Amino acid sequence: MQKVFGMSFDPLTLKYNEKGLIPAIAQEESTGDVLMMAWMNAEAVQRTIETGRVTYWSRSRKQFWVKGETSGHVQNLVELRIDCDRDCLLVVVQQAGPACHTNRKSCFYTALKRGEEVEILSPLVTKN
Amino acid sequence: MQKVFGMSFDPLTLKYNEKGLIPAIAQEESTGDVLMMAWMNAEAVQRTIETGRVTYWSRSRKQFWVKGETSGHVQNLVELRIDCDRDCLLVVVQQAGPACHTNRKSCFYTALKRGEEVEILSPLVTKN
């Protein structure tokens, strides 16, 4: 048995909030687009690294949420980055299809323009 | 007295956590780099929009934090975006100098590579 690579990084060295969660921002590698922000617990961080599939913790469903598991709109991990305070993560990803549950590429599809909310991204047309 | 532009957007329509805060991700307009993540309360959102200077709420100092007020490393607001759940903001900015207090361009200067933490950004050399 050969260990492919060692892993000295310990997700428990990150700083979690009082609910044991850390915010994770997903950014698309190819475009630099910020796709979404969701939350991870230490186990989700571990699973994301081990599987290469970005895995969040769903606060509403109180369960692990392998992004795209049901929709197919998976996020393949390219690189995980940690901020200076160790209390926020940036996951650089390859995004399959739209990241947002509204079928838009990014969850940040509403912009303020002259004090008004404007929709700046339309839902993607997906092939059947 | 002429009102320059009306503002119908109400920051109170956003969803704040139990501490009255919403996460705000700062992204540099010109490069797409994700610079940092910090928190705003409704008043900080309002001030950011009104002044064009990105203003957070410092959780440690418990006061408004006009980014760059002391360092000069200000963030000028280009566009404020709201996510689908209205519980996270993306501020697209023009960043003066480094965004991170460590003098690095971005707070996300640590990357996991083969299970090890690697520094991927060095502190900027600033002119005196």
Decide: B111 and B117 in contact? Cβ < 8 Å.
Answer: yes
Best CATH choice for the domain B13-101 from the list 3.90.180.10, 3.40.225.10, 3.10.20.810, 3.40.50.620: 3.10.20.810
Q: What per-residue confidence (pLDDT) applies to B3?
A: 47
Q: Which fold has domain A13-99?
A: Ubiquitin-like (UB roll) (3.10.20)
Look at residue A1 and give its three-state secondary structure.
coil
**pLDDT above 90 (res A90):** yes
CA distance B23 to A23: 9
Distance from the Cα of residue A100 to its chain's centroid: 11
Residue B105's CB: how many other CB atoms inside 10 A? Answer: 20
pLDDT band at B125 (very low <50, low <70, confident <90, very high): confident
Tell me: the pLDDT tens digits for B105-121? Answer: 999 999 999 999 999 99
Nearest to B90 among A31, A104, A108 (CB): A108
Average pLDDT (B79-92) is 98
> Which pair of tokens denotes residue A63?
């369960």
CA distance A54 to A56: 7
pLDDT band at B2 (very low <50, low <70, confident <90, very high): very low
Average pLDDT (A45-54) is 97
Which run of H or of E encompasses B51?
Answer: helix B42-51
**β-bridge pairing B22-28 and B89-95:** parallel
CA distance A113 to B78: 10
Q: Which of B29, B84, B86, B91 to mutate to test the interface with A (most CBs of A within 10 A)?
A: B84
Q: In chain B, which residues have their Cβ closer than 8 Å to the Cβ of A108?
A: 81-83, 88, 90
Mark yes or no for CB contact B83/A6 under 8 Å. Answer: no
Q: How far is A116 from chain B (nearest CA, A)?
A: 6
Residue with tokens 């000028």: B76
Tell me: the pLDDT tens digits for B88-109? Answer: 999 999 999 999 999 999 999 9
Domain ranges of chain B: 13-101
Q: In chain A, which residues have their Cβ closer than 8 Å to the Cβ of B56?
A: none
Tell me: the pLDDT tens digits for B41-78? Answer: 999 999 999 999 999 999 999 999 999 999 999 999 99
